[in-house]
């Protein structure tokens, strides 16, 4: 073997297995991967690495040195080839000049080739131009226009979402305002109830006209607060609590009417009865009746305008304080009765 690459490509399995580290399986893999173009290709065989390849090369060199064919063979003088006599160089044949017709034919062929190339170039340019002319509208219609429409639609939707978000924020603010007003009404009603309880205790001990009139004013203020809170409950679609407040206000007004015989309270109670009859099936109609009852109590005159949408500002909270009532001293017939103060 003249070189290591030939050794890798020609060595049989028995010889390969003599090399330390090469098993029968690795030898089969090497034989299956033949022929190798380069020595390094053998290192890519499964099971063969650079170290094993180095062992194979060492084995090859050792076997080559030990082989008897590696000894130099003397060359006898008789085996040398005889000297080659110098021969005269052969004369080159003279090329024949092309004729006029052959040159004309060659020129015509070149012309046809150039013309064909020109035609192909023109056709290619025409095809590109036609593709641009007809392709751009198609691309615009199929891809660009839908994208622009979608972009405009998304922009419009974003605007609507922003508007809805603004409206939602406003509604949340109104809901918060309504809830705050309900809390204020509730606190005021609790205070008024305590005052009424205290005043009724005074009346049981001493039946005085001034105390009785003051008690009527507290009851009227409670009724107004209840009606105001009922309207806020209607705005929240809480029809059950609204109906309870309307019923409580009606009961207070019935008590006042039985003691004062005020004809205005008859109209107010009639309107409250209509509102109770329309709840919860017809809350809008009930809200209109409740508004009329409110206006009657505030102005003392019938009203023709019905406001169906309540707002917290439309129903102020009436608060009576112990200082206003002045319950610590015994009232007289000449002592003035302070009107309730409105706190929005």
Given a contact cutoff of 8 angstroms between Cβ atoms, the answer to whether 209 and 332 are in contact is: no
Closest CA to 235 of 273, 269, 185, 191: 185
Q: pLDDT tens digits, residue range 130-142?
A: 989 988 888 888 8
SS3 per residue for 290-303? HHHHHHHHHHCCCC
pLDDT at 125: 94
pLDDT at 113: 92
Superfamily holding 4-71: Photosystem II 12 kDa extrinsic protein (1.10.150.320)
| Rounded-to-integer distance, Cα 3 and Cα 17, Å | 19
Residue 317 backbone dihedrals phi, psi, to 5 degrees: -95, 125
Task: Flag whether pLDDT at 99 surpasses 60.
Answer: yes
Given a contact cutoff of 8 angstroms between Cβ atoms, the answer to whether 340 and 324 are in contact is: yes
Q: pLDDT tens digits, residue range 134-172?
A: 888 888 888 888 898 888 889 888 888 888 887 877 777
Q: Which two tokens stand for residue 16?
A: 């390969």
| DSSP H helices in the chain | 4-10, 13-17, 24-33, 50-66, 100-139, 145-205, 209-235, 239-260, 263-278, 283-299, 322-325
Extents of the domains making up the chain: 4-71, 181-343
Residue with more model confidence, 59 or 175: 59
Degrees, nearest 5: CA angle 155-160-161: 95
Residue with more model confidence, 342 or 204: 204
- What are the residues facing 318 on neighbouring strands? 342
């Amino acid at each position: 073997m003249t070189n290591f690459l030939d050794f890798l490509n020609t060595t049989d399995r028995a010889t390969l297995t003599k090399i330390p580290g090469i098993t029968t399986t690795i030898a089969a893999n090497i034989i299956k991967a033949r022929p190798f173009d380069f020595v390094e290709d053998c290192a890519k065989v499964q099971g063969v690495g650079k170290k094993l390849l180095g062992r194979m090369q060492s084995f090859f060199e050792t076997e080559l040195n030990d082989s008897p064919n590696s000894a130099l063979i003397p060359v006898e003088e008789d085996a040398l080839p005889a000297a080659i006599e110098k021969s005269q160089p052969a004369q080159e044949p003279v090329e024949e000049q092309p004729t006029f017709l052959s040159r004309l034919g060659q020129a015509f062929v070149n012309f046809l080739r150039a013309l064909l190339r020109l035609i192909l170039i023109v056709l290619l340019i025409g095809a590109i131009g036609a593709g641009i002319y007809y392709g751009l509208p198609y691309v615009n219609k199929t891809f660009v226009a839908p994208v622009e429409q979608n972009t405009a639609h998304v922009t419009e939707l974003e605007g609507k979402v922003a508007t809805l978000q603004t409206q939602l924020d406003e509604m949340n603010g109104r809901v918060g305002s309504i809830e705050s007003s309900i809390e204020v009404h509730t606190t005021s009603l609790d205070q008024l109830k305590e005052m009424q309880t205290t005043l009724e205790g005074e009346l049981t001990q001493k039946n005085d006209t001034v105390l009785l009139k003051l008690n009527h004013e507290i009851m009227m203020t409670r009724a107004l607060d209840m009606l105001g809170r009922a309207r806020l409950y209607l705005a929240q679609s809480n029809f059950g609590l609204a109906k309870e407040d309307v019923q409580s206000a009606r009961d207070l007004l019935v008590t006042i009417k039985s003691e004062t015989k005020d004809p205005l309270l008859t109209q107010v109670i009639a309107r409250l009865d209509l509102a109770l009859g329309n709840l919860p099936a017809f809350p809008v109609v009930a809200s209109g009746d409740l508004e009329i009852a409110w206006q009657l109590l505030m102005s003392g005159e019938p009203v023709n305008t019905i406001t169906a949408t309540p707002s917290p500002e439309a129903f102020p909270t009436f608060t009576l304080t112990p200082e206003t009532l002045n319950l610590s001293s015994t009232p007289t017939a000449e002592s003035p009765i302070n009107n309730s103060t409105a706190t929005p």
